Amino acid sequence: MTEERLVNRISTTKEVRPVIAGWYDEIRTAHADGKLLAWTYGPVPFEIFRAMDIRFEHLESYGAYLAARSGQEKLKELSESDGYSNDICSYARLVRGVSMLRERGDTSSVPGVLLVDLPDFVVAFRQCPLMATVYDYQKRLFNVPGFCIDTIPAHSEADYRENLIYIRRQLEELIVFLEDLTKTKLDFDRLKQIMAYVKEAALVRNRVLDLCKTKPAPMSVFDHFISLGPSHSQRGKKESVEYWRRLEAEVKERVDNGIGVIKNEKFRLYWHNLPIWFKVGRLSEVLAKHGAVLVAASYTHELFYSHEPEKIDPEDPLTSLAAEEAWQSWLAADAIQGAKQVQKEIEDYSIDGMIMCSHRTCQPADIGEYDIIDIIGRRLGIPGIVIDADPTDPAFYSDAQTETRLQAFIETLEARKRRAATS
Amino acid sequence: MFVVGIDIGSLATKAVLLNGEKEVTGYVVTLTGADSNKAGQTAIDRLIKDAGINPAQIAYMLSTGYGRENINLSNGQLTEITCHARGAVHIDPAVRTVIDIGGQDSKAISLNDYGDVIKFAMNDKCAAGTGRFLEVMARALEIDLQDMGELSLKSKHRVEVSSMCTVFAETEVISLISRSIDKIDIIAAIHRAIASRTGNMTENVGVKSSVMMTGGVAKNIGVVHALEERLDCKILVPKEPQIVGALGAAMFALDRATSADVKNNTE
Amino acid sequence: MQDILDKFNSIVEDAYAWLPAYKQEKGIKVFGCLPMYVPEEIIHAAGALPVILQESNEPITSGHSKIQSFFCGIVRSIVDQSLKGRLDFLDALVSPEIDLPINGIANVLRINMNIPNLVIYQPTTCSKEVSQAFLSKEIKRFKSSVEECTGQKITETSLKASIKIYNRNRALLRELYDLRREKAGLLSSVQIRAAVMAGMLMLKEEHNQLLEALISKLKTREVTSKSKFRIVLSGSLCQAPPTDILNVIEETGAVIVDDDIYTGTRYFAGDVGTEGDPLEAIVKRQLTMPVPCPTRVDEAGNWGDYLIDTVKNSGANGVIHLVVKYCQPHEMYYPYLSKRLSKAGIRDLKLEIEHEIMSIASTKTRIQAFIETLK
């Protein structure tokens, strides 16, 4: 069925797929290249790994990568047949499937592009508490060294500051751990350069986010979700700055010419929680059909150095790293803090409604969604709707159910608009 | 001397009459309905009548299945897991894995070399992957339930039905139909979905040759085929897959009837 | 003795009927603690009563307007209770930040209730020095919040006194479990559950008196039947096991001889040291909980080893895992545990526990089939 594409995607995002493929090639050739391979869980500081030339796989990115590819069902099947309940985080189930194939020594049942080698060591950042369990479990399974960076789910600014110090101290220990393993010393100058690029890329990225405040929105959050790929795989590299600059130029041009990512923009929406990695394209088209576009999201606008990147001090990389981690932990834990961010975005981006995505097996951002809807509803009168999904597992997703809800939601927004126009 | 094994499932009641030489001298399959005690009684009456024997010749009756405790006439009871295993091994002593898919539930059982159950897994919380799933889908596709299996084998193009839940899957199937996807391909996808669900459960208990399938759904050649593909092994299907549980119950009944310990014919 | 057992039973049958009345009788402040691992001694030393919040018997209705249905029963039940006003008698909440749902509802409760919510950040990387230092500081902060909340200063003397009472309580519960191990079937597992759980809902000094009386009677009791099916229960994290399941297990002729569940060994294993600074001693216990937990990264702990040891020490021949549905940490560890047990030649069964009424028939079939494999 070929329909005319309603969404005018940012063409710079076409660069992403080969970049990601390249990253996985690097991961796959780690051992052949004589490098150590780490499996990581949670938002660990890639910058340090990069500075030490350690190749790493990242659970959440890997899950997102697998979600859109065929053959991944087989991985989940494997983990379920091993006794893993399907209530478990779908990322963890996918990765368990990969490790099972590796353990068996027979990987012929899935395409090679889905696989990576088993790790030499494991590192976790316990922002999602489950990451500690996955880390601990896999560490025992693979019988490899590991390091878990603990964090606290801060509920106040004071706690956030305590946490920053706590994390920073652990980063120092992480470096000692990595130096021990690799028998090399971390080159701090290199890390500083990496942080400089991180800062620059974040600043450019934030300018792009700001440009999306325009009406009509030149870029949708779906384009952003895709752009997160290079945020991880190219973080700290010059290429990431260049990617964002190209993207900025494209977006600026659209703004200058009043071109929107969809024609007939009627409603600007906010998306809460992780994307549904295997429905990014389809949902953007579905919303566009009703004149709706996603202009802001928690995952893109609040994380990954989108918060005050101007404060990053490349000369003090560890504090900068710890600050970002501590910020993410605060946001993840505290619905009141979360609601503050949402409110800011609603005001800055002229948002008409919120889509709260409730993920069945990826739960950290789920709790508190109802409260955010209530708080925003009371403060700003902006409505929200909850949809049921999962980041990578289609078994917990129904096109019909979700698309009906979204359409019904937009119909209520239309009714509000008409009401406001006549009163 | 005769013994009876009776398997009272939530949908169907099965009874087997065994003589002293372990030969099946009769069997009955009826609907359970709302009164499992009554259904059991009816099944036994028919069994006795068809075989032309005297009720006094029945030395022991063992019940199994969902309604195993409700039936007044039985002398003892064991779960359907233990009984399916026993029945399967009686039919073929080489069986080490039993997959039972019934109207409303499914189970996987792994046996040791003595034919004893070592591990089992059950799916009895939802209809997905059971006979009920097939019924719902057959209705959605407007195909006769009986024809589903054969048709699934004719599929040429692979389509996916990924939903876990029967209701969701039904919606998925309807949307596939509306996209003019060939019904035969959809039927095959449904069978693969059942095989996937059941296959995971079976691998969880361990797949060891020989593998036997029991229960009403074993008569569906499409499911058998899809499971063979999923598990990459040959699956045996006995002539009357539905009565394997009752057969196993009857074997246990024979043990107890001939055992010197039995004085009162109670558990 | 029966009156003690009856008292325990009536307390746990409806914890939220018992607690407000008990509070009034004692004229004491009540701190509602979410599971698990709250350092209750600190609250007790301030003259308040720490209680461990339990699942209520009510179906969850209002709760689902604040939390999705695919979270474990205990957190949904607590949210539900808070919205229905069942927790209004509390003077404060205590939220140990141990894992995702418990952490998450700390917020929901903060937003939807008017009482103070004292959060304790628990490092999960227990063997790291930096985490130990963090917890030291955190426990001091918790102590200050408790003092502020109660208006009562906690002295070293009062803390040591509370620790003594709590250690005594744990020792008595261990003694009860020793008796059960020796004389399986001495009390039904529902009675044992009530004995432990009641202690979570009353002053420990009172619980100690009742336990002492109970144990002295039990010591003289003989057990007539000797079941050959001896079961260890594992898991049931954060929640008490449903009494239905315990009854069904025993109806098949099996006996439960030991456990690592929260309303069991997990709660009373390991004492607080009595030497030196009592706060540091409490920190030490927090970091070195003897029963390994899937929410913690504990280099020294190994749940597989612990469970196998428990089976061997109690002369058990089977393990029943009680896995709370949606408890991802336990779900993730279960396959590993099952394989370890299998390698050690120990049979096991997995049962899922849900808050919503489950068909006891299918659970009964599973348990019976499992016992049938133990012959």
Distances (CA, A) of C7 to C1, C2, C18, C191, C194: 10, 8, 11, 10, 9
Partners of residue B119 on adjacent β-strands: B110
Residue B267 has pLDDT above 50, yes or no: no
CA terminus-to-terminus distance, chain C: 35
The mean pLDDT of C178-191, rounded to a whole number, is 92
| Shared-domain flag, residues B168 and B214 | yes
Q: What is the CATH number of the domain that holds B19?
A: 3.30.420.40
What digits encode the pLDDT tens for the residues C64-117? Answer: 889 999 999 999 999 999 999 999 999 999 999 999 999 999 989 988 899 999
Between CA A117 and CA B17 the distance in angstroms is 57
Compute the nearest-CA separation of B231 from chain C (Å). Answer: 20
Domain count of the fold of chain A: 1
Whole-complex ipTM: 0.93
Interface mutation target, options A398, A401, A404, A405, chain B, most CBs of B under 10 Å: A398
> Which member of B164, B175, B179 has the closest CB to residue A395?
B164
Asked whether the beta carbons of residue A394 and residue B162 sit closer than 8 angstroms, the reply is: yes
Q: Let me know if residue A322 belongs to a domain.
A: no
Cβ–Cβ contact A86 with B under 8 A: yes
What CATH number belongs to C20-152? 3.40.50.11890
Residue C127 has pLDDT above 90, yes or no: no
Torsion sign across C-alpha atoms B33, B35, B41, B42: negative
Q: Could you write out the three-class secondary structure of chain B?
A: CEEEEEEECCCEEEEEEEECCCCEEEEEEEECCCCHHHHHHHHHHHHHHHHCCCHHHEEEEEEECCCCCCCCCCCEECCHHHHHHHHHHHHCCCCCEEEEECCCCEEEEEECCCCCEEEEEEECCCCCCCHHHHHHHHHHHCCCHHHHHHHHCCCCCCCCCCCCCHHHHHHHHHHHHHCCCCHHHHHHHHHHHHHHHHHHHHHHHCCCCCEEEECHHHHCHHHHHHHHHHHCCCEECCCCHHHHHHHHHHHHHHHHHHCCCCCCCCC
> Which member of A137, A333, A361 has the closest CB to residue C336?
A137
Asked whether the beta carbons of residue C369 and residue B79 sit closer than 8 angstroms, the reply is: yes
Contact list in A for residue C325 (CB cut-off 8 A) is: 87
Domain count of the fold of chain B: 2
Asked whether the beta carbons of residue A173 and residue C128 sit closer than 8 angstroms, the reply is: yes
* DSSP secondary structure, A130-168, as one string: HHHHHHHHHHHHHT--EEEE------SHHHHHHHHHHHH
Q: Let me know if residue A108 belongs to a domain.
A: yes
Cβ–Cβ contact C103 with A under 8 A: yes
Contact list in A for residue C66 (CB cut-off 8 A) is: 370-371
Q: What is the CATH number of the domain that holds A66?
A: 3.40.50.11890
Cβ–Cβ contact C347 with B under 8 A: yes
DSSP three-state, residue C258: strand
Asked whether the beta carbons of residue A77 and residue B200 sit closer than 8 angstroms, the reply is: yes
More confident residue, A14 or B129: A14
Which of C144, C141, C164, C167 is closest to C154 using CA atoms? C144
Specify the pTM.
Answer: 0.91
Compute the nearest-CA separation of A64 from chain B (Å). Answer: 18
What digits encode the pLDDT tens for the residues C289-334? Answer: 899 999 998 877 899 999 999 999 999 999 999 999 999 999 999 9
- Count of CB pairs separated by less than 8 Å, A with C: 138
| Shared-domain flag, residues B54 and B185 | no
Contact list in B for residue A83 (CB cut-off 8 A) is: 204
| Shared-domain flag, residues B123 and B200 | yes
Cβ–Cβ contact B125 with C under 8 A: yes
Interface of C with A in 67-86 (CB under 8 A): 67-68, 70-71
Q: Let me know if residue A23 belongs to a domain.
A: yes
Q: Let me know if residue A78 belongs to a domain.
A: yes
Between CA B222 and CA B173 the distance in angstroms is 17
What is the reported pLDDT for C24? 94
Asked whether the beta carbons of residue B120 and residue C347 sit closer than 8 angstroms, the reply is: no
Cβ–Cβ contact C142 with A under 8 A: no
Give me chain B's average pLDDT, please: 89
> Which member of B66, B105, B120 has the closest CB to residue C369?
B120
Interface mutation target, options B125, B168, B205, B233, chain A, most CBs of A under 10 Å: B168
| Shared-domain flag, residues B13 and B135 | no
Compute the nearest-CA separation of A395 from chain C (Å). Answer: 15
Residue B262 has pLDDT above 60, yes or no: no
Asked whether the beta carbons of residue C373 and residue B66 sit closer than 8 angstroms, the reply is: no
Asked whether the beta carbons of residue A363 and residue C331 sit closer than 8 angstroms, the reply is: no
The mean pLDDT of C275-288, rounded to a whole number, is 95
Asked whether the beta carbons of residue C372 and residue B81 sit closer than 8 angstroms, the reply is: yes
User: Per-residue pLDDT for chain A (423 aa), expressed as one digit of tens each?
Assistant: 455 788 999 999 999 999 999 999 999 999 999 999 999 999 999 999 999 999 999 999 999 999 878 888 889 989 999 999 999 999 999 999 999 999 888 888 888 888 999 999 999 999 999 999 999 989 998 999 999 999 999 989 999 999 999 999 999 999 999 999 999 999 999 999 999 999 999 999 999 999 999 999 999 999 999 998 888 889 999 999 999 999 999 999 999 999 999 999 999 999 999 999 999 999 999 999 999 999 999 999 988 898 899 999 999 999 999 999 999 999 888 888 889 999 999 999 999 999 999 999 999 989 989 999 989 999 999 999 999 999 999 989 988 888 988 988 998 899 888 888 876
The mean pLDDT of B181-199, rounded to a whole number, is 91
Q: Which residue of chain C is at minimal alpha-carbon distance from B65? A: C365
Asked whether the beta carbons of residue A81 and residue B200 sit closer than 8 angstroms, the reply is: yes
Asked whether the beta carbons of residue A80 and residue B204 sit closer than 8 angstroms, the reply is: yes
Torsion sign across C-alpha atoms C121, C122, C127, C133: positive
| Shared-domain flag, residues B78 and B101 | no
What is the reported pLDDT for A3? 58
More confident residue, B10 or C141: C141
What is the reported pLDDT for C174? 98
| Shared-domain flag, residues B109 and B130 | yes
| Shared-domain flag, residues B78 and B194 | no
From the number of C-beta atoms within 10 Å of its C-beta (0-12, 13-18, 19+), residue A183 rates as exposed
Residue B71 has pLDDT above 90, yes or no: no
Between CA C204 and CA C200 the distance in angstroms is 8
Neighbours of chain B (3+ CB pairs under 8 A): A, C
Q: Which residue of chain C is at minimal alpha-carbon distance from A82? A: C335
- Provide the residue ranges of all domains of chain C, joining segments of one domain with +: 20-152
What is the reported pLDDT for A186? 96
| Shared-domain flag, residues B63 and B120 | no
Asked whether the beta carbons of residue A132 and residue C296 sit closer than 8 angstroms, the reply is: yes
Q: Which residue of chain A is at minimal alpha-carbon distance from C72? A: A87
Cβ–Cβ contact B116 with C under 8 A: yes
Helix (H), strand (E) at residue A191? helix A188-211
Asked whether the beta carbons of residue B162 and residue A77 sit closer than 8 angstroms, the reply is: no
Cβ–Cβ contact A73 with B under 8 A: yes
| Shared-domain flag, residues B228 and B248 | no
Asked whether the beta carbons of residue B79 and residue C365 sit closer than 8 angstroms, the reply is: yes
Asked whether the beta carbons of residue C296 and residue A366 sit closer than 8 angstroms, the reply is: no
Contact list in C for residue B118 (CB cut-off 8 A) is: 347, 373
Compute the nearest-CA separation of B184 from chain C (Å). Answer: 35
Cβ–Cβ contact B82 with C under 8 A: yes
| Shared-domain flag, residues B47 and B159 | no
| Shared-domain flag, residues B25 and B55 | yes
Q: Let me know if residue A208 belongs to a domain.
A: no
Compute the nearest-CA separation of B141 from chain C (Å). Answer: 31
Contact list in C for residue B80 (CB cut-off 8 A) is: 365, 369
| Shared-domain flag, residues B50 and B13 | yes
- Residue B72: give the domain boundaries: 1-92+243-267
